[in-house]
Amino acid sequence: MTARVLVVDDILSNVKLLEAKLSAEYFEVITAYNGLEALAKMDEHEPDIVLLDVMMPGMDGFEVCRRIKKNSKTAHVPVVMVTALDQPSDRVAGLEAGADDFLTKPVDDSALFARVRSLVRLKMMTDELRLREATGQSMGLIDPAETLADAAPTGRILVIEDRPESVAWFASALQPDNDMASVDMFEEALVRVRGGDFDLIVVSLGLRGFDGLRLCSQLRSLPEGRNVPILVVVSEGDRRKLTQALEMGVNDYLTRPVDKNELIARVRTQLRKKRYSDKLRHNMQLSLEMAITDQLTGLHNRRYMSRHLDMLISGAHKSSKPLAFLIMDIDHFKAVNDTYGHDTGDEVLREFAGRISANVRGIDLACRYGGEEFVVVMPDTDPEYAYTVAERLRREVEANPFAISRDPHKLNITISIGIAASDTASDSAEALLHRADQALYRAKREGRNRVIADAA
């Protein structure tokens, strides 16, 4: 894996040493020698990760980190503080400033590279979500997710530990701010994650009853655990387990003996990231839904129907089952808009969409085709049944006036419907649409408020 690394340190020899080591591992390295230069390089080069010294003249590393995390364009970029400071209070201060990790010099090369690769992998996942969110924003579909700004996030935490005294210690540190649960069995852990909707999982790698690394691997393979951050607890000096954990996608780690303030700081960091990632995924799903949904009626739009119809016809051909296609139009809809205004016209369209949804099956595809035209695609449906559904809908619309918000508060509406059926291998989406449209035209020509089935 390659990545662009920004190395920030005011001592030239430190910068050159890290640059040489990282370059030998095929990382692209950018360098800066003070805080202001680092912030400028962030904007100019868009690094994938920052290795940041703390003790620098002018603006120290804590302030640089805070500024990186406050900027919506750079808040998701991981920051690792690499410094000679070695007190727990220094580590906590770095984490509270927004750093993703705090490594004390001299840093073992393999441990540093494993951490850099781990954080870059996690950032790339976030980059993909951010890219899709940006697409949704450019289309005017969604607002951007908030940055990683929540100072004291809380959540549901699962602690996997088989030492009662350690479980009690975690509970004293994490509760009552967080909702904490604990398990001490392999299978029970999997069951809880499958149904627990947790925001963070803490796994002790010193478990006596089973292999904690194997559990982490299993948790990552579960759909419910794929996007839940995992924080492992390792014994000091156990670099093999730590490296393996980072390589399999663990998000963060603590070394024993664990400092309570560091635990809280790392938990908050992971919960903050989880909230941000969840919002990005929500925005992505929302943009996908909005891209295929008509915003006025909530039905699928024409773009979705056009792409989906080919698959439905192909499936009907393969299964030798019929497929029916209904196209319907609100009679004299222009007169509604001209007489009562477009707001009333929109109310009529929304009400009609609701009546369509109430009269078709879950397997049927209901779409707004455009204007006052609507389409229903009915898989595994012969023309006779389609006609029965269409006629039922026509009568329901005719018999029950549409409620509107202004005088006269009710409108009598009728509809015309054309039906076509696909029951031959030579049928295409275009041919089906054309035949249904011709049937609708006949219904209009013959007086409206009727259902006409294509005779082909």
Secondary-structure class of domain 1-107 per CATH: alpha beta
Give the Å distances, CA to CA, from 304 to 76, 293, 299, 300, 389.
33, 8, 10, 6, 23
Digit-coded pLDDT (tens) for 308-332: 888 888 878 777 788 999 999 999 9
Amino acid at 220: R
Specify burial of residue 426 (Cβ count, 10 A radius: 0-12, 13-18, 19+): exposed
CA 188 from centroid of its chain's CA atoms: 28
Domain 139-287 has CATH 3.30.390.50: no
Q: Is there a contact between 210 and 183 (Cβ–Cβ < 8 Å)?
A: no
pLDDT of 289 strictly over 80? no
- Average pLDDT over all residues of the chain: 90
Question: 56: number of CA atoms within 13 Å, CB side?
Answer: 29
**Least confident piece of the model among 10-14, 97-101, 142-146:** 142-146
CB 11 within 8 A of CB 32: no
Q: Domain extents for the chain?
A: 1-107, 139-287, 302-453
What is the spatial distance between Cα 42 and Cα 30, in angstroms, rounded to a whole number?
A: 10
Sign of CA dihedral 83, 85, 87, 92: negative
Q: What is the pLDDT of residues 198-217, one digit of tens each?
A: 999 999 999 998 999 999 99
Q: How confident is the model at residue 265 (pLDDT cuts 50, 70, 90)?
A: very high
pLDDT tens column, 118-159: 999 888 888 877 776 776 666 555 566 565 666 688 999 999
What string of DSSP letters covers 192-215?
A: HHHHH--SEEEEETT-SSS-HHHH
With contact defined as beta carbons under 8 Å apart, do 142 and 283 qualify? yes
Q: Which residues are catalytic?
A: 372
Q: How far apart are CA 432 and CA 421, in angstroms?
A: 7
Report pLDDT for 217. Answer: 94
Three-class SS of residue 277?
helix
Number of alpha carbons in the 13 Å side-chain half-sphere of residue 49? 27
Percent of the chain with pLDDT over 90: 68
Handedness of CA 206, 105, 152, 270 (dihedral sign): negative
Q: State residue 98 phi and psi, 5-degree precision.
A: 115, 0
Task: Please tell me the predicted confidence (pLDDT) of residue 239.
Answer: 86
Angle between helices 109-138 and 260-291 (to 10 degrees): 30
Asked whether this chain's domains 139-287 and 302-453 adopt the same fold, the reply is no
Euclidean distance between CA atoms 289 and 278, whole angstroms: 16
Neighbouring-strand partners of residue 417: 328, 451
Model confidence at 304, pLDDT cuts 50, 70, 90, reads confident
Does the pTM exceed 0.85? no
Nearest to 417 by CA among 399, 392, 381: 392
Percentage of the chain modeled with pLDDT above 70: 95
CATH fold of 302-453: Alpha-Beta Plaits (3.30.70)
pLDDT of residue 397 exceeding 90? yes
Report how far residue 267's alpha carbon sits from residue 253's, in angstroms, rounded to the nearest whole number. 10
Q: Is 370 helix (H, G, I), strand (E, B) or coil?
A: strand
* Over residues 229-254, mean pLDDT: 92
